[in-house]
């Protein structure tokens, strides 16, 4: 635990088996990911957008809003945090500022993608991508902008849905040449496509598998993902969907019965919840400092 988070993330990415990073969209969900025993938190842009403004992931949030959320998430946990940095919120110059801001927030790594602005969630229709050379320039800018060489730069391509998998793979190679540490080919739509990505890019750089819950990529087992050679699996929106189910259920009870009484048995008690979010530590601080 004395190892700095970015170094720990690099170690986790190089151990062979896939590292698993469930999604968090705020500080509370990030704490729950950590308390469940996971070694990495993934800050989802989809979930951040859904929770901050209650809207879909179509490029509505600014870089500052994303960095703000990352700052709170990093402060809430000890494990490394990988954050969604979308398109970098502009051109290569914006990427420099974005990378530095995420680095200052204490994030361990980010992913940057080659969509045009405003971007769309990788599993939605209607995506468009910038030219490969332009994105390679943004990756070079990001690599040069980071101050900590251990800050992990993940290059994501959304080109598969626009130009096909061959172009996506060629782009991923170009982004590795430009200085990306990790490659992320977004949204292959068949197991064969996933295998092609793994075969063509394995060994070029560690690979991300986006296990997008309900998205366009088939839901492979963790074992299969490992066999194929992926180094990192993200489960971006499961926590968000589960929270939605929980809130809806509670609200339906209140609406139908007038009070939450009959639902309370399924919920953490008040004390359990305040323990979970660190009230005992606050108590210790009060003892020491007052």
Contact present, 70 and 107 (Cβ < 8 Å): yes
Q: Interface with ligand PYR by CB under 6 A: which range of 43-51, 68-76, 129-137, 263-271?
A: 43-51
Chain positions 115 to 154 lying near ligand PYR, rule: CB under 6 A, are 122
* 109 strand-pairing partners: 82, 152
Of the candidates 60, 192, 185, 199, which has an alpha carbon nearest to the alpha carbon of residue 119? Answer: 60
Whether residue 25 lies in the annotated active site: no
Considering beta carbons, is residue 83 or 178 the nearer one to ligand PYR?
A: 83
Say whether residue 5 binds ligand PYR (CB under 6 A). Answer: no
Whether residue 26 lies in the annotated active site: no
Q: Interface with ligand PYR by CB under 6 A: which range of 44-52, 163-171, 173-181, 192-200?
A: 44-52
Cα 205 versus chain centre, distance: 18
Give φ, ψ of 268 to 5 degrees: -60, 145
User: SS3 for 18?
Assistant: coil
| Number of residues binding to ligand PYR, judged by CB under 6 A | 9
Q: Which of 34, 57, 103, 114: binder of ligand PYR (CB under 6 A)?
A: 57
Q: Interface with ligand PYR by CB under 6 A: which range of 42-50, 141-149, 199-207, 276-284?
A: 42-50
Whether residue 171 lies in the annotated active site: no
Whether residue 163 lies in the annotated active site: no
Contact present, 287 and 279 (Cβ < 8 Å): no
Spatial CB neighbours of 29, under 8 Å, sequence gap ≥ 6: 23, 47, 239, 240, 243
Contact present, 109 and 154 (Cβ < 8 Å): yes
**Two tokens at 261?**
């009484």
Whether residue 39 lies in the annotated active site: no
Whether residue 113 lies in the annotated active site: yes
Question: What is the nearest approach in angstroms of ligand PYR to the Cβ of residue 154?
Answer: 11
Interface mask toward ligand PYR for 202-241; x: CB under 6 A: --------x-------------------------x-----
Of the candidates 52, 10, 23, which has an alpha carbon nearest to the alpha carbon of residue 211? Answer: 23
**Residues labelled as active-site residues:** 42, 57, 84, 86, 111, 113, 121, 156, 186, 210
User: Which residues in this chain contact ligand PYR in the complex, by CB under 6 A?
Assistant: 23, 44-46, 57, 84, 122, 210, 236
């Amino acid at each position: 635990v004395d190892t700095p988070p970015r170094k720990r993330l690099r170690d986790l990415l190089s151990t062979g088996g896939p590292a698993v990073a469930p999604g968090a969209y705020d500080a509370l969900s990030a704490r729950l990911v950590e308390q469940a025993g996971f070694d990495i938190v993934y800050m989802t842009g989809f979930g951040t957008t859904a929770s901050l403004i209650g809207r879909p992931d179509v490029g509505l949030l600014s870089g500052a809003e994303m960095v703000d959320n990352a700052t709170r998430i990093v402060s809430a946990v000890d494990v490394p945090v990988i954050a969604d940095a979308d398109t970098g919120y502009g051109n290569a110059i914006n990427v420099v500022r974005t990378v530095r801001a995420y680095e200052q927030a204490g994030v361990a790594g980010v992913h940057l993608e080659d969509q045009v602005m405003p971007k769309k969630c990788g599993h939605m229709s209607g995506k468009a991508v910038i030219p490969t050379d332009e994105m390679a320039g943004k990756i070079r800018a990001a690599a040069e902008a980071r101050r900590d060489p251990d800050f992990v730069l993940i290059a994501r391509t959304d080109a598969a849905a626009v130009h096909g998998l061959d172009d996506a793979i060629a782009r991923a190679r170009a982004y590795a040449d430009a200085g990306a540490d990790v490659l992320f080919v977004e949204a292959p739509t068949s197991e064969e496509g996933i295998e092609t990505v793994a075969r063509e890019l394995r060994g070029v750089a560690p690979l991300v598998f986006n296990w997008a819950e309900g998205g366009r990529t088939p839901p492979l087992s963790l074992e299969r993902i490992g066999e194929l050679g992926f180094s990192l699996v993200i489960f971006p929106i499961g926590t968000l969907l589960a929270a939605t189910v929980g809130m809806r259920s509670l609200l339906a009870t209140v609406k139908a019965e007038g009070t939450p009484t009959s639902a309370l048995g399924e919920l953490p008690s008040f004390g359990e919840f305040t323990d979970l979010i660190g009230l005992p530590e606050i108590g210790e601080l009060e003892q020491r400092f007052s």
